[in-house]
Structure 1
Amino acid sequence: MGTIIFLFLAGVAAGLLASTAGLASVASYPALLAVGLPPVLANVTNTAALIFSGLGAITSSIKELRGHWRQVSLFVALSLFGSVGGSWLLLAAPAESFEKVVPFFILIAALMLLISGRETGSSSSKDALKAARQHPLKRFLILLASYLGIVLVGAYTGYFGAAGGVLFLAFLSVILDDDFAVVNAIKNVIAFAGNFVATVIFIFRSHIVWHFVLVMGIGLFIGGYLGPVIVRHVNIKLLRSLIALAAIVLAIDLFVKAYFK
């Protein structure tokens, strides 16, 4: 009974982190390790359970996603294309060979989150992007760079995965003009699609501890549903800062593990 309660509460925490910051695995993966699952099995089971967080977040974000489904579908397709490529690359070059640069990626994501939410003087980076989009050639180059960026972040999540949600959140915050709640909702759909496809693959190629998925999944759905509600009502600048701070702490932790283990 203690294990059930522990995984449920870890699921709620992870769902909140997933649907607000893209940092679910900070809570869910260690919880599965704590109840005795070996790392690979915990990783696979964690991915399957995170589907429930995505379902909760999408259900709660229908208002923000209204009118954006065409754009979301394109972003999902691009990210999944990159994710497949990243997964293929993982077979050729194990993630351990990449771990030394991951902390810097996450640190960059944190800085992007902070910069994308900061207005400077009478204009901002978003104003500059809006002006550039009025020029046909610049608009084309911006779209190309944006789509390529989504593919590359997708490839990163397929290859390594750590804080992939934060990277998507940071990148989308820069390239989109929408409110943070909308950007966060789009990020949640992309994350859900990635976890769903990965789970389908794992069903045929690995083993999933389904009773842990169910218990943690209930908590993940609740946390995932509450996350977008929280985003609607909190100070967005404060939320960005907290997410960036959490990403920086994660980057430092991964840096220490990569260079001093």
Structure 2
Amino acid sequence: MTGLGDVALLAAAGVLAGVVGTAGGITSLISYPALLAAGLPALAANVANIVAIVACWPGSALASQPELRGKGPWLRRWVPLSALGGAAGSALLLSTPSDVFARVVPFLVAAGSLALLAQPRLAVRHERRGSPDAVLPLGLTALSVYNGYFGAGVGG
């Protein structure tokens, strides 16, 4: 980052990302490109964005309490798989050269976009079946690895 213009850009992006987040949007769609525009390399921008998203988690957890009520057994079953996937994605991120990461990012954005498009159909399928099938653990693992690797492609 070079100066006051970058600071102003990042401050404005932070405010806009906060507004997007309160509306249920993905704040990273604002903050990650702003970090890139301010001159951070893709890998450093991703890591900075992941660290910033961590601050959103406590508020998200508190706001999600009504939806999570009675879901303890479900969470105990699937959180360990999510944590392992996230750890695997993080390990992959730490072992990826930054130039490779920069080349892979457009494909990750495309994959995340396709996943968002598929979400309504998957939700309907889940409602009809009523119980998790093989798609849930596979999808949860893939999503967790993706999230651990490319934090700018996730919620928050």
Taking structure 2 as the reference length, what is the TM-score of the superposition? 0.67
The residue number in structure 1 matching 2:56 is: 53
Q: What's the CA shift for 1:57? A: 2.0
Q: Which runs of 5+ in 1 are unaligned?
A: 118-123, 134-138, 166-187, 189-261
The residue number in structure 2 matching 1:95 is: 101
Q: Which runs of 5+ in 2 are unaligned?
A: none
Instruction: Give per-residue Cα distances to partners, 1:174-225, cap 9 Å, x unaligned.
Output: xxxxxxxxxxxxxx6xxxxxxxxxxxxxxxxxxxxxxxxxxxxxxxxxxxxx
Using CA pairs below 8 Å that are at least 6 residues apart, which structure has the higher relative contact order?
1
Q: For residues 69-80 of structure 1, what are the structure 2 equivalents within 5 Å?
A: 69-80=72-83
Instruction: Give per-residue Cα distances to partners, 1:26-57, cap 9 Å, x unaligned.
Output: 112233445x4522443333222212222222
The residue number in structure 2 matching 1:192 is: none
Aligned 8 A contact 2:92 2:149 in 1: yes
Instruction: Give per-residue Cα distances to partners, 1:158-178, cap 9 Å, x unaligned.
Output: 23344234xxxxxxxxxxxxx
Which of the two has higher C-alpha Rg?
A: 1
Q: What's the CA shift for 1:81? A: 0.6
Separation in structure 1 between the aligned mates of residue 47 and residue 66 of structure 2, nearest angstrom: 31
Q: Aligned pair count?
A: 148
SS at structure 2 position matched to 1:30: helix
The structure 2 residue matched to 1:42, chosen from 42, 45, 57, is 45
The residue number in structure 2 matching 1:163 is: 153
The residue number in structure 1 matching 2:111 is: 105
Separation in structure 2 between the aligned mates of residue 108 and residue 17 of structure 1, nearest angstrom: 20
**Counterpart amino acid of 1:158?**
G
Aligned 8 A contact 1:15 1:53 in 2: no
**Counterpart amino acid of 2:135?**
A
2:128 pairs with 1:128: yes
Q: What's the CA shift for 1:97? A: 5.9
Q: What's the CA shift for 1:66? A: 2.1
CA gap of 1:105–1:33, structure 2 versus 1, over 3 A, is closer
CA gap of 1:154–1:33, structure 2 versus 1, over 3 A, is same
Instruction: Give per-residue Cα distances to partners, 1:5-26, cap 9 Å, x unaligned.
Output: 76455334324544623x2211
Separation in structure 2 between the aligned mates of residue 108 and residue 27 of structure 1, nearest angstrom: 19
